[in-house]
Structure 1
Amino acid sequence: KARRKDKDASSGGAGGQEEPKMYLESTVLECTIPESRLRDLVDLPEGLDYNEWLASHTLAFFDHINLLYGTVSEFCTMSGCPDMTGPGNRQYLWFDEKGKKCKVAAPQYIDYVMTFTQKTVNDESLFPTKFEREFPSSFESLVKKIHGLLLHVLAHLYHAHFREMVLLQLHGHLHSIFAHFTLFNARFNLVDPKDAVVLQDLAVALGLCPPAENANGSPAASSTAPSSSSTVAAASGADEDSGAADAASCSAAAPMDVSLSPSVTQRSVVPSGIEAPAVSMATTTAGSVVPAQ
C-alpha cells in the first residue's frame, strides 16, 4: 500500500522543509498555449471513437514528455538524481519482476517508463492502427497506467529540473503540456486524484482548477508550504491525501498542440530510437504490476 511517512526534522533541509518551488513563481508561469484555448477543445468530438481519442492523446503525451525530458536528460544522472522524486519530497518506487519494491535512480526509472510505454503503444494488439482492428476491452485501464507513469516523469521534471527548463526557455512548453495533460485526465478520470495532488498547487496557479478550501470554506494555506515527505510505492491502494478531491475538480480536456512533434505516420507520434533495457515488469500509480509486452 502506498504510504506516507514523516522524515526526521533534519532531512529535506532545515526543519524538514522543502525548498521553495520555482515553478510557482509568477515570472515563469506562462504557457505557450492559452488555458482558454485548451478549455475550448474539451469534449470528445461527435462521431469519434472514445478509445481512438484516448489513444491519439496518449501517444502525443508520451511523445511530448519524452522530448522534453530528452532536453534535460544530461542533467538527470545517477549521481545527481539517485532517487526518483517529485514535489513534496515524494519518492516513487519501482516493482521488480518478483513484485518487490525497489528504489532506483531517476534516469533508470524514467527509462523504464519510456521503454514500457513505447513497447505498449507499438503493440498492435493493444494500440491498433489498422482500421479493421478493435481496441482491447482493457484499453482504458492501460491508458490510465501509462498516464500515471507519465505523471511521475512530469513530477520529477518540475521537482528536479525546472531550473534547466527555464534556462533553455522551455518552461512555457512544459506548462502547456502539463495543462493539457491535467485537463484531459480530469475530464476522463484517467489519473487517481491522490496521485495528481503532487502537482495540485501548479494546477491551481495555472488556473486549471479552483484552490483547495478549508472546512470553514476559506482558501487553504498556500500550497508552497512545506510538506512531509512521502513514499509512493506501487500497491493496491493509497492513503487519504489532503487536496486529492480538489485534484479531481480540474475541468476537462483538449487535444495536444503538436508543434513540438516530429513528422509521423498514421496515428503514432512515438519518437524513434529509444533503446529498450531489459525490463520485465512495470508499476503504475494504481499499484498493479504490468508485464512488459
Structure 2
Amino acid sequence: MASSFSSFFSRDKTFRKPKKFEQGTTKYNLHKQANASLQSGIDLRSVVKKPPDHDLQDWIAVHVVEFFNRINLIYGTVCEYCTKETCPKMSGGPKYEYQWCDGVDYKKPTALPAQKYTSLLMDWVDAQINNEDIFPVSIEVPFPKTFLPTAKKILTRLFRVFVHVYIHHFDTLVSIGAEAHVNTCYKHYYYFVTEFNLVDRKELEPLKDMTERLCR
C-alpha cells in the first residue's frame, strides 16, 4: 500500500502547482519525516503526533502545505468531470452547500459552480501559504498570531473539497483506482485535524458516516 500511495501521489496531474519546501530547512526535514512515516504503513494515528523535539506550529504549517498539495492532486484527478453542468453548486449532497467569500472580490457569500469555487479556494490557499508574514520560512522568524486562525481556516475549507469529491465524484475515484489512496489521505487529514483540534466538529458532519467507517 505504501509504495502505491507514493506512486499515485507523485503524478503530475494537479489542479494547481504544488508548494515545495526548500531543501535544508527545518520545514523540509519535517516534510520528509512526515512523508516517510506516512509511507511506512504504520498506524496513521501515530503518524500525526508531533515529534517531541519540534515546534507545534512548524508541525502544523508543514501539514497544512502537505494537505493542500494532496487535496489539490485529488481534485485534479476528477476536475474534468466536475463541470458547470454536472456540479452547478459547490455542495456535498442536498444538505450541504458551500458559498465563496474572500472579503475582496467576493465580499458576501456567493454560490458558484464547484470547479470555480475550488479554483478560487486553491488560489486563496496558495496565497496564504506563500505569504511569509503568515507562514515564515526561517526558523528565526516567529509565527504571527494570525498563523493558527489562518491554518484552521485553510484546513476547514480544504475539507469541503473532500466532501464534494467523495459525495459527487466517488464513482470516478473508484473507476480510476484512486479510492484507497484518497481514503488514506482523508484518514491522515482527519486524524491530524482532530489530534490538534484544528477543524470544528460541525464542519466535519457531512462525512460523518464515512468517517466512522474509515477512522474508528
> Scaled by the length of structure 1, what TM-score is found?
0.57
What CA distance in whole angstroms lies between the structure 1 residues aligned with 2:93 and 2:152?
21
What CA distance in whole angstroms lies between the structure 1 residues aligned with 2:91 and 2:176?
22
Summarize deviations over 1:6-29 as a string: whole Å, max 9, x none. Answer: xxxxxxxxxxxxxxxxxxxxxxxx
What CA distance in whole angstroms lies between the structure 1 residues aligned with 2:40 and 2:86?
34
Match of 2:193 in 1: 185
What CA distance in whole angstroms lies between the structure 1 residues aligned with 2:97 and 2:41?
30
The amino acid of 2:147's aligned partner reads F
Equivalent in 159, 162, 183 of residue 175 of structure 1: 183
Shift of 1:39: 1.8
Does the CA contact (< 8 Å) of 1:85 and 1:92 recur in 2?
yes
Match of 1:194 in 2: 202
Match of 2:13 in 1: none
Equivalent in 168, 172, 175 of residue 164 of structure 1: 172
Equivalent in 120, 123, 133 of residue 131 of structure 2: 123
Match of 1:76 in 2: 82
Q: Secondary structure at the match of 1:55?
A: helix
Match of 1:85 in 2: 91
Match of 2:19 in 1: none
What CA distance in whole angstroms lies between the structure 2 residues aligned with 1:41 and 1:71?
26
What CA distance in whole angstroms lies between the structure 2 residues aligned with 1:162 and 1:35?
24
The amino acid of 1:130's aligned partner reads S
Match of 1:227 in 2: none
Q: Which runs of 5+ in 1 are unaligned?
A: 1-31, 210-293
Summarize deviations over 1:256-284 as a string: whole Å, max 9, x none. Answer: xxxxxxxxxxxxxxxxxxxxxxxxxxxxx
Shift of 1:40: 2.5
What CA distance in whole angstroms lies between the structure 2 residues aligned with 1:183 and 1:110?
23
Q: Establish whether residue 44 from structure 1 lines up as the match of residue 55 from structure 2.
A: no
Shift of 1:35: 8.4
What CA distance in whole angstroms lies between the structure 2 residues aligned with 1:200 and 1:111?
25
Match of 2:121 in 1: 113
- Asked which structure has the greater RCO (Cα within 8 Å, sep 6+), the reply is 1
What CA distance in whole angstroms lies between the structure 2 residues aligned with 1:101 and 1:44?
35
Does the CA contact (< 8 Å) of 1:87 and 1:158 recur in 2?
no
Q: Which runs of 5+ in 2 are unaligned?
A: 1-37
What CA distance in whole angstroms lies between the structure 1 residues aligned with 2:200 and 2:188?
16
What CA distance in whole angstroms lies between the structure 1 residues aligned with 2:182 and 2:148?
25
The amino acid of 1:106's aligned partner reads A
Based on CA coordinates, which of the two structures has the bigger radius of gyration?
1
Q: Establish whether residue 142 from structure 1 lines up as the match of residue 147 from structure 2.
A: no
The amino acid of 2:203's aligned partner reads D
Does the CA contact (< 8 Å) of 2:65 and 2:129 recur in 1?
yes
Distance 1:171 1:148, change over 3 A: same
Q: Which has the higher strand share?
A: 1
> Scaled by the length of structure 2, what TM-score is found?
0.77
Distance 1:190 1:154, change over 3 A: same
Does the CA contact (< 8 Å) of 1:83 and 1:103 recur in 2?
yes
Summarize deviations over 1:74-128 as a string: whole Å, max 9, x none. Answer: 1111111100011453111122646322210000100111000001111111111
Does the CA contact (< 8 Å) of 1:128 and 1:135 recur in 2?
yes
Does the CA contact (< 8 Å) of 1:86 and 1:160 recur in 2?
yes
Q: Secondary structure at the match of 2:97?
A: strand
Does the CA contact (< 8 Å) of 2:48 and 2:188 recur in 1?
no
Q: Establish whether residue 58 from structure 1 lines up as the match of residue 64 from structure 2.
A: yes
